[in-house]
Amino acid sequence: MLHSKRLILAHFWLAFAAFGLALIMGEWQMLVRSPLHTWIGNPDWYYRSVTAHGTAMAYVFPTLVAMGFGYAITEAALKRPLIGLKWACAGWVLIAVGTVTALVPVSLGLASVLYTFYPPLIGSPFYYLGVVLVVIGSWIWVALMCINLHVWKRANPGAPVPLAMYANVAGSLLWAWTAVGAAIELLFQILPAALGFTSTIDAGLARVFFSWSLHAIVYFWLMPTYIAYYTIVPRAIGGRLFSDPMARLSFVLFLVIAMPIGVHHLFADPQVGAGFKFVHSVFTALVAVPTLLTVFTISASVEIAGRLRGGTGALGWLKALPWRNPMMLALAFSFLMLGFGGAGGLINMSYQLDSSIHNTQWVTGHFHLIFGGAIVIMYFAIAYDLWPHLTGRALANMALIRTQLWTWFIGMIVLTFPWHWVGILGMPRRMGFYDYTNPAIAPEALPVMASVAGGAILVVSGALFIAALIGGHRSEQQQPDEYRFSVAVQPSRAVPVALNGFGLWVALMLLLTAINYGFPIAHLMSLHDTSVPAIRTGAAR
Amino acid sequence: MSTRSANSPRNRWLAPAVLITLLIASLSIATGFIWLPSLQLNGRFHGVWNAICSAAGLVYNRAPTDIERQPGYRTSTVIVLPGMLRTAGAASVGRGATLALQCTTCHGARGVSDADTPNLAGQYAPAIYKELLDYQSGARTSAIMGPRVTNLSDQDMRELAAYYAYLPRLSADHSAVDEFTPTIVLIGAPMRNIAPCVSCHGATGYKTGSAWLEGESLTYLRTQLRAFASGSRHNDISGQMRNVARGMTYTEIEQASAYYASQPW
């Protein structure tokens, strides 16, 4: 039973509003730097748009989805109203205010620093303050998740924490620790420069702090998707979860090894030693373990569904699956994109192979395929699954929903595959202009135009998504059943104490952070001649 | 089911989890800090301790070997900061006007001249100040300017800059760019790492320390671009202009110079 429906709906709608606007900006960026459009003349407009697109898509949209979904899980899994509803509302207000505070200076051209901040570029302090407000709002959510779990545990001593809530709190703890790196960078390096207290900044150290957040944030984005894989998909397609402990193990492994791997974003940076780059590369490779555990467990769970529906033989169960069920479609598309994206990611995370595609469009293709593809398509699925319970009305138009999922998948493939290709050809990313008449880059013109078409399909799909949700508010009222999560083949009457709490895993996370980041940060902080003048964007001309 | 803490030593998950984590960390550190460096065939492996320090990113102070650190080769030591010299009082402008009397022969009575010297009226103050400092330090050399700046104090140079920045120009703002603007000025040549002129010198972006170029003498602009390209002028911070000019073709230097010379001052 969901009690705080308006709170959850407010999170989802603000998230999807930010997503819709950023989606249109993304396609505009694709268009103006493609051969289909003449050069806009002023690159500043391009970088304004990139900054707004990245800020909305990376900070606002997934954070709000994780929060709204987290509140829904808390009430549905713990079967009690959310504790701290007023605090939750305050968190939402902080994020809404932070988003506006950040995006106003961006649209005025006073903070074209991209969402990765890129010191020594310094923009308007309001941009960074807005981002800080978004992070503080999300930390309220982290605290509420921990408090709700704690209260429930005291009321149910020794009982296994429901899997959905266990995974949800793992995600919130991951985010709490992940955000610390960027928070340190913002509060101690960037904001003092933006406010005029300092005129120089140690850009190398700032990049190390940002890398602390930059990769693990992807696993925070991934958490709602993985929670949906384990706790929604098997129920929605009529199957059983293959293994509850395996699911818990995957989530705690993400908690431990998602964070101390960020230096693989700095392979070309001179301020970090080669030894640490190698160690971070090794730990990045280890992320394959929880990922493959998940792929195996979910595939087994889906096979159970296929066989329960009468499928037989080695592959017959595949045919018996409910392919017209949106959740089945979303899962299949998500896995396909996760597979392609993961394969590309193996190149990015390899210290040596990365140099062939570093800072090219390959990287843009990679993270759009993983985040925009595998992750976001499950956000859609989560919204479709929750909507009848939030609105008290059925989502009637299944054909529209299926079309939306298909177009998102096709659009994302058409967008990102050519991006990977032009990346191999050497096309740099984050540039507003390419002279396609130059023989050296003329071969990139056709794939870039294909990407523009892919982006257009995504815009259509995004519009269908919004239309489907609005339709859900207008359809016939119905009393939905109680919101349920997947049931495991062997229900978890008892789970190992280590997989019912987080103490051990948080301790390991802190230990690995100290090993992998301790020396580089301490070393860079001990150097005194490494700061460079801060460069203000949008300064008076 | 037990409610013991997971971090209790009696929890049978604790020891394996910590051991496996430490084992992976130790193996990857040993590989990345010692074994892989020892396999390098480029003669850079000088013992285990050296390899560890190198892999950890410790900085060595090597003896300077490059030409820019040879005795007698000066580059600019001026630090340009955003917002510098933005405000100047009337007194400062007045003193600058008095000091500028010795500049009028070449730069004109009101900072504009046909003598193929740079026009200075309305020039950005940081640009003038930086060039004066560079003439004084020898980073920029000129048989005419060198002797004239020798005895100027830092305050003199700030006031000269303030005075010339105060003098009026014909045009209030940079020339608007359009499709007839030469490609090298508007777009640069990204494949050769050449940023467009307008991204630093105004129109689409202005970086502190860059000069106002519209209306300058054709001969002066062309000479300076060629000097940057050959390296005979080397007072640009971090070689920014040398890197740009070195990659420009003869035609592009002509186009850029002609474009800026044809604009109203």
Cβ atoms of B207 and B126 closer than 8 Å: no
pLDDT in tens, B139-186: 999 999 999 999 999 999 999 999 999 999 878 788 888 878 899 998
* Domain that residue A177 falls in: 5-536
Structure-block tokens of residue A272: 């970090």
Q: What is the structure's pLDDT at A528?
A: 84
Q: Give the closest-approach CA distance of A493 to chain B in angstroms.
A: 9
Q: What is the structure's pLDDT at A509?
A: 95
Proportion of chain B above pLDDT 90, given as a percent? 55
CB proximity under 8 Å: B 146-205 to A: 177-178, 186-187, 189-191, 199, 202, 204-205
Average pLDDT over residues B205-213: 90
Q: Which of B10, B12, B21 to mutate to test the interface with A (most CBs of A within 10 A)?
A: B21
Whether residue A523 lies inside any domain: the answer is yes
Q: What is the CATH number of domain B72-166?
A: 1.10.760.10
Contacts of B60 (CB under 8 A, 6+ apart): none
Domain positions in chain B are 14-55, 72-166, 183-262
For chains A and B, CB pairs below 8 A equal: 137
Whether residue A386 lies inside any domain: the answer is yes
Catalytic-labelled residue, pool A71, A117, A118, A219 = A219
Q: What is the structure's pLDDT at B68?
A: 53
| Cβ contact, residue pair A283, B177, below 8 Å | no
Whether chain A has a CB inside 8 Å of the CB on B3: the answer is yes
Catalytic-labelled residue, pool A48, A240, A264, A368 = A368
Question: What b/e sequence results for A123-161 when a residue is b if at least 16 CB atoms lie within 10 Å of its CB, and e otherwise?
Answer: bbbbbbbbbbbbbbbbbbbbebbeebbeebbeeeeebbb
Q: Is A493 a catalytic residue?
A: no
Q: What is the structure's pLDDT at B162?
A: 94
The radius of gyration computed from the CA coordinates of chain A, to the nearest angstrom, equals: 23
pLDDT in tens, B223-246: 999 999 998 999 998 889 999 999
A333 vs B231: CA distance, rounded Å:
57
Closest CA to A255 of A219, A283, A204: A219
The radius of gyration computed from the CA coordinates of chain B, to the nearest angstrom, equals: 28
Per-residue pLDDT of chain A (541 residues; tens, 9 = 90+): 788 999 999 999 999 999 999 999 999 999 999 999 988 878 889 999 999 999 999 999 999 999 999 999 999 999 999 999 999 999 999 999 999 999 999 999 899 999 999 999 999 999 999 999 999 999 999 999 999 999 999 999 989 999 999 999 999 999 999 999 999 999 999 999 999 999 899 999 999 999 999 999 999 999 999 999 999 999 999 999 999 999 999 999 999 998 889 999 999 999 999 999 999 999 999 999 999 999 999 999 999 999 999 999 999 999 999 999 999 999 999 999 999 999 999 999 998 899 999 999 999 999 999 999 999 999 999 999 999 999 999 998 999 999 999 999 999 999 999 999 999 999 999 988 888 988 888 999 999 999 999 999 999 999 999 999 999 999 999 888 899 999 999 877 788 889 999 999 999 999 999 999 999 999 999 988 889 888 888 754 4
Q: Which residues pair with A344 in a beta bridge?
A: none
Structure-block tokens of residue A445: 């013109």
Q: What CATH code is carried by the domain that includes residue A264?
A: 1.20.210.10
- For chain A, what is the domain count? 1
Q: How many helices (H) and strands (E) does chain B have?
A: 13, 0
Tell me whether the CATH fold assigned to B72-166 matches the one assigned to B183-262.
yes
Q: Is the pLDDT of residue B65 over 90?
A: no
Q: How many helices (H) and strands (E) does chain A have?
A: 20, 4
- Look-up of token digits 């510098």: B84
| Cβ contact, residue pair A435, B189, below 8 Å | yes
Whether residue A102 lies inside any domain: the answer is yes
Closest CA to A242 of A190, A183, A293: A293
Q: Helices A163-184 and A61-78 sit at what angle, rounded to 10 degrees?
A: 150
Q: Structure pTM?
A: 0.83
Q: What is the structure's pLDDT at B70?
A: 60
Q: What is the structure's pLDDT at B222?
A: 95
Phi/psi of residue A535, nearest 5 degrees: -110, 115
Q: What is the mean pLDDT of chain B?
A: 87
Q: What is the structure's pLDDT at B11?
A: 81
* Start-to-end C-alpha separation, chain A: 58
| Cβ contact, residue pair B177, A535, below 8 Å | no
Q: What is the structure's pLDDT at A541?
A: 41
Q: pLDDT band for position B2 (50/70/90)?
A: very low
Task: Using CA coordinates, name the residue in chain B closest to A442.
Answer: B191
Contacts of B255 (CB under 8 A, 6+ apart): B182, B184, B185
Q: What is the CATH number of domain B183-262?
A: 1.10.760.10
Whether residue A541 lies inside any domain: the answer is no
